[in-house]
Amino acid sequence: MPDEFLTRLRRFHTDSFPAYQTTFENLVHDGQRPSTLFIGCSDSRVLPYLLTGAGPGELFLVRNVGGFVPPFDGSSGYHGTAAAIEYATLNLGVQRIVVCGHSHCGAIRGLYGETCEEAHHLKAWLNLGRDAMLPVAEPSPEALRRTEQRAVILQLERLMDYPMVRRRVEERRLTLHGWHYVIEDGQVDVFDVQSGHFIPASKSLHSGTGPYVDPPADAGEQAVAPQVP
Ligand SMILES: [Zn+2]
């Protein structure tokens, strides 16, 4: 049986890499300076580079089941996603954090169903989406869509509990963006804090906002979070 991935690795080196060689050499020589931390679901149908048209060195990626952000609680354990958020903001100085959910997300559907007994970590991990759930026993496709979008906003709110994120957002050195990718339409809906809704990127005037109204420069108080759809 042929080793398909060996064939692909060889093909990458001979066919694809030469076009990018100089770019990668520069990224090694100068180091990476990604503009964006992209937090998305591990789902194989979500392709951040394809969606954004980004090239090498542009996106610092964190992917996990559901595209969730754990709380900044400093509790014991290994926090890969939290570590990546800290590294991206403190070391790499990203200017943008995207949280990208998507249609037909297994993690969101999993919130409403049974989790395999053996999957201890998965069961605990899904708790990070529970506050986005709607009070329905058997969710309709529309309820799942709304839960997926509410989960994006929930993760953005949790990001604001990271002191280094909040500080940079308040200093306007960092922007937060909520996205919901509809796989079958090739459409990304972006969260708009003014309307409290997700708007198709084709109709939006911006690439998404965080869950907070950007306060005027001299306003001391944070604006009120909008109604979550
Ligand atoms: Zn997913």
pLDDT along the chain (229 residues), means of 10: 93 97 98 98 98 97 98 83 97 98 98 91 95 96 98 97 96 97 98 95 94 55 48
Tell whether 105 is in a known binding site.
Answer: yes
CA of 63 to the centre of ligand 1 (A): 10
CA distance 103 to 147: 10
Per the CB < 8 A criterion, the answer to whether 40 and 67 are in contact is yes
> What are the backbone angles phi and psi of residue 180, rounded to the nearest 5°?
-135, 115
| 15 CA distance to ligand 1 middle (Å) | 32
- The pLDDT tens digits of the residues spanning 152-164 come to 999 999 999 999 9
Report whether 187 contacts 202 (CB < 8 A): yes
List, for residues 183-211, the tens digit of each pLDDT value: 999 999 999 999 999 999 999 999 999 88
Is 43 annotated to bind a ligand? Reply is yes
Q: Is 41 annotated as a binding residue?
A: yes
Its CATH architecture, for the domain 34-200, is 3-Layer(aba) Sandwich (3.40)
Ligand 1 centroid distance, CA of 105 (Å): 4
Check if the beta carbon of residue 191 is closer than 8 Å to that of residue 113: no
The Å distance, Cα 67 to ligand 1 centre, comes to: 7
What are the structural domain ranges in the chain?
A: 34-200
Report the separation in Å between the CA atom of 25 and the middle of ligand 1, taken as the mean of its atom positions: 34
Q: Calculate Rg over the CA atoms of the chain.
A: 19
Identify whether the C-beta of residue 98 lies closer than 8 Å to the C-beta of residue 37: yes
Contact 203, 148 (CB under 8 A): no
pTM listed for this prediction: 0.91
